[in-house]
Amino acid sequence: MAELPTVYPLEDLFDAAVRHSAIRLTCRRCGRAAVFSSHALWWRFRRKGWADRLDDVRKRCLCLMCLHRDGEEVRNPELELVDEAPTDTSLPRPTELDWKRELRRRR
């Protein structure tokens, strides 16, 4: 089903986290895919002070498999919002206090 127009468009990681979507990043070179929790990915970008718009997320992410195997930094993976369980759980999630603080700030 096509995404219906909404008053709240999906523009950044926080929007994806509010909708409880996971983020699948797929390397354009080797095809390796990893599914991340949007909450954890948003928290990582927030703590680092990085812009969390979806286009900016693609520019920051790189394929670790290509980096270790070939020594080449492959950036700009394909980014999809999915309703799957995360396969990469290495990133910490925000505390409930931090998450609720951000929800209040954005109202």
Nearest Cα neighbor of 47 from 79, 74, 78, 13 is 13
Residue 1 has pLDDT above 80, yes or no: no
Structural domain harbouring 98:
13-102
With cut-offs at 50, 70 and 90, classify the pLDDT of residue 4: low
pLDDT digits (tens, 9 = 90+) for 18-61: 999 999 999 999 999 999 999 999 999 999 999 999 999 999 99
Looking at the chain, the number of H-run helices and the number of E-run strands are 5, 3
Query: Is residue 6 domain-resident?
Result: no
Query: Is residue 1 domain-resident?
Result: no
Which residues face 81 on adjacent strands? 23
Query: Is residue 8 domain-resident?
Result: no
Query: Is residue 42 domain-resident?
Result: yes
Query: Is residue 92 domain-resident?
Result: yes
Query: Is residue 5 domain-resident?
Result: no
Query: Is residue 58 domain-resident?
Result: yes
Domain count, the chain: 1
Structure pTM?
0.86
Query: Is residue 4 domain-resident?
Result: no
pLDDT digits (tens, 9 = 90+) for 93-103: 999 999 999 99
Tell me if 13 sits within 8 A of 102, measured CB to CB.
no
